[in-house]
Chains A and B, each alone.
Chain A
Amino acid sequence: MLGISGLFILWFALAGLVPVFTSQALAAAPAAGALKVGEAFPDVPLAGDLTEEQKGYLGLSGAGPWKFSDIKAGHVIIEVFSMYCPYCQAEAPAVNAVYEALRASEHADAVKMIGIGAGNSAFEVDFFRTKYGVAMPLFEDAELSLHELLGNPGTPHFYVVRLGKQGGTTVYSQTGRMESEKAFLAQCLKAAGR
């Protein structure tokens, strides 16, 4: 039998019931458990239905699953989202705008951007992609295994990771919606040393 703390862990882990921060004051602080700046970022497996263009963007080939470290970039911006999270739904246009701005910038080759659907099946990720016209490569995490490896962050949560041979190093960590698309991208690029 699980103790009460076990129940709570189970609840977080299985239901993926990811709390969110809506105020900007709170948005600056990572959620408890989320990976912090300076911490190692695990070399998580990535599975998803990517187009050839998306695979080319990330430097991937084949049908996957791939490893995070397979991505060809110096840094990766990651949005941990959920189709079921209203804040993630509301944030989708802003995330799309950041992705477009990044792709159009001089940093496009060095800094890549992906999304991980915490607790979302392939169907749910695909629906979110279609619903909001997401061009950014999205990966599924139906069993929340990636979410757990990433510290069970609230959603949306944004990481910037400096890629290494076996995962990487967290250089930016933010729970909650971005203050502005421009400021957010600037923060991410600054964290990436650009």
Chain B
Amino acid sequence: MYWTRLVAAVAVLGMLVMPALSRADVDPGQLYAPQGHAAAKPVDSMIAVAVGDAAPDFGLPALNGTVVRLSQFRGISNVVLSFVPAAFTPVCSGQWPGYNIARELFEQHNAVLLGITTDNLPSLHAWTRQMDPQGMWFPVLSDFWPHGAVASLYGILRPEGVTERAIFIIDRQGIIRHIEITDINLRPDLGGIIKKLSELQ
């Protein structure tokens, strides 16, 4: 089991860094390109919540030094949780640079966006500044320690310790209204997310 997980982790992390290989300005020696390989499953976890459930509450440290709790938005805002597998996916590979120009789309639907990965805060700080010198407009939360505790709570922690690429939409009453877990290689359509938000109005 250990080796299976290790190989899966190697495969996933390799996938996350490989786009950088064609960047001529990246030192090839810094890139992780293991010899062993295995195809990562598109989804490799067991969802623990369902549409209609009360969203499990959590508190996670944010890049600005605060702790953000899901329940602080109850009765106030809809919430979109965007889990992505790992920091330092090359800049163009992420979802968040797209969300970073779409603040108005979320706010038009009275929605707070929370970005979450299982990376630690220093890594998330460096990564978000790499994507935009000003960072992201939305809170970026670290589910690093206890490792992947929130991802586990929602049932989207993969065996290699990264999360699925997942979207949860939670309404103002704290009820999960939409779950979208995509192939780890596929970015969810922003249009689909906004459409689901519009249906909450």
The verdict on B194 contacting chain A, using a C-beta distance below 8 Å, is: yes
Give the A-binding residues of B (Cβ under 8 A). 11, 14-15, 18-25, 37-40, 89-95, 97-98, 100-102, 105, 131-132, 183, 185-187, 189-192, 194
Q: How far is the CA of A184 from the CA of B35 in the complex (A)?
A: 42
The verdict on A2 contacting chain B, using a C-beta distance below 8 Å, is: yes
- Which residue in B14, B24, B95, B102 is a CB contact (below 8 Å) of A127? B102
Given contact pairs A2-B39, A19-B92, A123 touches B190 in the complex (Cβ within 8 A): yes
Given contact pairs A7-B37, A12-B19, A21-B24, A84 touches B92 in the complex (Cβ within 8 A): yes
The verdict on A63 contacting chain B, using a C-beta distance below 8 Å, is: no
The verdict on A96 contacting chain B, using a C-beta distance below 8 Å, is: no
In the complex, 17 of the A-B residue pairs with CB atoms within 8 angstroms, ordered by the A residue number, are A3-B37, A14-B183, A15-B186, A15-B187, A17-B89, A17-B92, A19-B90, A20-B23, A21-B23, A32-B22, A84-B95, A87-B92, A123-B190, A123-B192, A123-B194, A124-B98, A131-B101
Report A-chain residues with C-beta under 8 Å of the C-beta of B21.
Answer: 8
Taking a contact as CB atoms under 8 Å apart, the answer to whether A121 and B101 are in contact is: no
Report B-chain residues with C-beta under 8 Å of the C-beta of A33.
Answer: 22
The verdict on A119 contacting chain B, using a C-beta distance below 8 Å, is: yes
Taking a contact as CB atoms under 8 Å apart, the answer to whether A20 and B98 are in contact is: no
A133 nearest CB across to chain B (Å):
13
Report A-chain residues with C-beta under 8 Å of the C-beta of B97.
Answer: 84-86, 89
Taking a contact as CB atoms under 8 Å apart, the answer to whether A22 and B39 are in contact is: no
Taking a contact as CB atoms under 8 Å apart, the answer to whether A154 and B22 are in contact is: yes
B84 nearest CB across to chain A (Å):
11
Interface centre among A17, A82, A122, A155 (most CB of B within 10 A): A17
Taking a contact as CB atoms under 8 Å apart, the answer to whether B18 and A11 are in contact is: yes
Q: How large is the interface on A (under 10, 10 to 19, 20 to 34, 35 or more residues)?
A: 35 or more
Q: Which residues in chain A, 123-173, are within 8 Å of chain B measured between CB atoms? A: 123-124, 127, 131, 142, 154-155
Report the stretch among A23-31, A51-59, A68-76, A103-111 that lies at the interface.
A23-31
Taking a contact as CB atoms under 8 Å apart, the answer to whether A8 and B187 are in contact is: no
Taking a contact as CB atoms under 8 Å apart, the answer to whether A8 and B191 are in contact is: no
Taking a contact as CB atoms under 8 Å apart, the answer to whether B25 and A21 are in contact is: yes
Q: How far is the CA of A112 from the CA of B29 in the complex (A)?
A: 42
Report A-chain residues with C-beta under 8 Å of the C-beta of B105.
Answer: 127
The verdict on A186 contacting chain B, using a C-beta distance below 8 Å, is: no
Report A-chain residues with C-beta under 8 Å of the C-beta of B18.
Answer: 7-8, 11-12
Taking a contact as CB atoms under 8 Å apart, the answer to whether B92 and A11 are in contact is: no
Q: How far is the CA of A19 from the CA of B26 in the complex (A)?
A: 11
The verdict on A192 contacting chain B, using a C-beta distance below 8 Å, is: no
Report B-chain residues with C-beta under 8 Å of the C-beta of A4.
Answer: 11, 14, 37
Taking a contact as CB atoms under 8 Å apart, the answer to whether A127 and B190 are in contact is: yes
B33 nearest CB across to chain A (Å):
8
Q: How far is the CA of A82 from the CA of B98 in the complex (A)?
A: 9
The verdict on A188 contacting chain B, using a C-beta distance below 8 Å, is: no
Interface centre among A2, A4, A18, A155 (most CB of B within 10 A): A4
The verdict on A178 contacting chain B, using a C-beta distance below 8 Å, is: no
- Which residue in A11, A26, A123, A127 is a CB contact (below 8 Å) of B15? A11
Report B-chain residues with C-beta under 8 Å of the C-beta of A20.
Answer: 23, 91-92
Given contact pairs A84-B94, A84-B98, A85-B97, A15 touches B185 in the complex (Cβ within 8 A): yes
A30 nearest CB across to chain B (Å):
11
Taking a contact as CB atoms under 8 Å apart, the answer to whether B185 and A11 are in contact is: yes
